[in-house]
Amino acid sequence: MKHEIEKQPKKFFVGIPLRTNNQEAGSTISAHWERFYREQILQKIPNRVGDDVYGIYTDYESDFNGPYTLLIGCEVSSLKNLPAGLVGREIPEAKYAVYTSQGPFPQGLIAVWQAIWKANLKRAYTHDFEFYSHKFNPQKNPNVKVYIAIE
């Protein structure tokens, strides 16, 4: 699957965390996304830079086979004054392999992740993220960008 290489500047994110792994991901991640929207977490995040939503994969224990943390939230200008239940992360400047999902959601996104797991990337296993534009719509605009930190 085709990808681009892109350098991203340091960013700050705030959201709700979930510790999981790819064996449990089918049930845990969808429930976590449901919680994010049901509890209107985006509206509770202070210092938002915009209304784009991110799924940030971090705190890898080893590689994609081990546990990691998924933080669902948004980019912010500051990590100060976080409400209870929300956590912040500073993501340093890094180089990424960037994939864009094609086709229906979530099948297109699943296909991207399967291609990433099979790809011969020198992954850093620091911070990877899915970018959902504020224009994202599962039926009308289903494309998601996936940023994979590389060495």
pLDDT digits (tens, 9 = 90+) for 35-90: 999 999 999 999 999 999 999 999 999 999 999 999 999 999 999 999 999 999 99
Distance CA 68, CA 62 (A): 8
Considering its fold, how many domains does the chain have in total? 1
Q: For residue 111, what pLDDT band results from cuts at 50, 70 and 90?
A: very high
Q: What is the average pLDDT score of the chain?
A: 96
Distance CA 29, CA 32 (A): 5
Residue 104: give its domain's CATH number.
3.20.80.10
CB 56 within 8 A of CB 128: yes
pTM (predicted TM-score): 0.95
The domain of 93 spans 4-150
CB 13 within 8 A of CB 74: yes
Alpha-helix residue ranges (DSSP H) falling in the chain:
25-38, 41-44, 107-118
